[in-house]
Amino acid sequence: MTLSTPGIPDLVAVRARHPEAVAEAAARRVRRPLLNDSGRLMIVAADHPARGALGVGDRRLAMANRADLLQRLCTALARPGVDGVLATADVLEDLLLLGALDGKVVMGSMNRGGLAGSAFEMDDRFTGHRAADLARLRFDAGKLLLRIDYTDPGSLTTLEATARAIDEMAASRLPVFVEPFLSRRVDGRVENDLSAAAVTRSIAIASGLGGTSAYTWLKLPVTEDPDDMGEVLQTSTLPAVLLGGDVGADQDAVYERWRKALRLPTVHGMVVGRSLLYPARGSVEEAVDTAVGLL
């Protein structure tokens, strides 16, 4: 699937004149199981813009060009071994209208209210997909972000809303991928603690949320020292995927961190966004193929 230059005007015209086309495209989309025979998942993530997080490396507005983002997503989704995509409603519906989601796992992003850099960032309201939306559109899973700052009362609001969202997803028998962090503000900016102790505690907290964990997955960072991941992942029996992160100068070192963590028994794959869609070097195809090769 490729996105031609007339693609954006065509999308705008369909949205303006035939908004029902989104539901029609969702109804005819060819679905697949969450896990195929390999038991591994490679999901490309593109839910950053809805939090106002548009930067990639030193490019502050890299993800602001929707035509470019959609082109990169379609390129990634067409590569062998890519199982699906994680995004907010606007991006997923663009991809639906482009016909890029047949046979792919479609994961909706649920809470985007904690806007990057805002005073209310830790009060991460559920402003994206609800369980009912995901079920109605025949999507396959949801994802939520759970950042916990022990000094910020907004984190309690997020915790409670997260628990209720997990309950609603379980009632719809939809998997929900919980991305937990212990976070703190440093010079006014939220930073995630990737020490082994912090990631361990975040896993313990996230695993116990809701009335059931039957449909809960974990979406986890690799710890500062990748050798700690084996012990960290002993905290829970919930299945897990690794998250990517921002583009770094030493991408080979990032790949090696992923490679080590992917050997662990509870890890079933990766959900990676900017590192693959906007690689520090090389093409999207090369970055995606390298990541798929790690699985």
Residue 1 domain-assigned (yes or no): no
Q: What pLDDT score was predicted for residue 7?
A: 79
Say what the pTM is. Answer: 0.94
CATH code (residue 84)? 3.20.20.70
Q: Which domain holds residue 267?
A: 7-294
* pLDDT tens track for 190-248: 999 999 999 999 999 999 999 999 999 999 999 999 999 999 999 999 999 999 866 56
Q: What is the count of structural domains for the chain?
A: 1
Residue 15 domain-assigned (yes or no): yes
Residue 285 domain-assigned (yes or no): yes
Residue 269 domain-assigned (yes or no): yes
Distance CA 89, CA 78 (A): 20
Q: Is residue 6 predicted with pLDDT exceeding 60?
A: no
Q: What pLDDT score was predicted for residue 155?
A: 95
Residue 161 domain-assigned (yes or no): yes
Residue 2 domain-assigned (yes or no): no
pLDDT-derived band at 257 (thresholds 50, 70, 90) equals confident
Q: Is residue 3 predicted with pLDDT exceeding 80?
A: no
Residue 230 domain-assigned (yes or no): yes
